[in-house]
Structure 1
Amino acid sequence: MKKIVFVCLGNICRSPMAEFVMKNLTDQVIVESRATSAWEHGNPIHRGTQQIFKQYQIPYDSHKTSQKMNLETAEECDYIIGMDSQNVADLKKMLPSRLHTKIYPFAEESVPDPWYTGDFEETYRMVTEGCLAWKNRLV
Structure 2
Amino acid sequence: MKRVVMVCLGNICRSPMAEFVMKDLAKDRDDLVIESRATSSWEHGNPIHRGTQAILNQYHIPYSASKTSQQIKEQDLADYDVIFAMDESNLKDLLALSKGRYDDKIHLFIEGGIPDPWYTGDFEETYRLVKQACESWLKKL
TM class by smaller structure: over 0.9
Aligned mates of 1:109, 1:130 — CA distance in 2:
11
Kindly report which structure 2 residues correspond to 1:3-82, keeping only aligned pairs within 5 A, or say none: 3-26=3-26, 27=29, 28-82=31-85
Aligned mates of 1:68, 1:100 — CA distance in 2:
18
- Between stretches 121-130 and 97-106, larger displacement belongs to 97-106
Question: Over aligned residue pairs, what C-alpha RMSD do you find?
Answer: 0.8
Count of residues in correspondence between the two structures = 138
What SS does the corresponding residue of 1:97 show, helix, strand or coil? coil
Identity in percent: 57
- Between stretches 25-34 and 113-122, larger displacement belongs to 25-34
Match of 1:121 in 2: 124
Match of 1:98 in 2: 101
Aligned mates of 1:81, 1:55 — CA distance in 2:
24
Match of 1:87 in 2: 90
Unaligned runs of 5+ in 2: none
Task: Write out per-residue CA displacement over residues 93-137 of structure 1, whole angstroms, 9 at most, x where no aligned residue.
Answer: 122311111110001121000000000000000000000001011
TM-score (norm 2): 0.95
TM-score (norm 1): 0.97
**What displacement does 1:44 show?**
0.2
**What displacement does 1:73 show?**
1.5
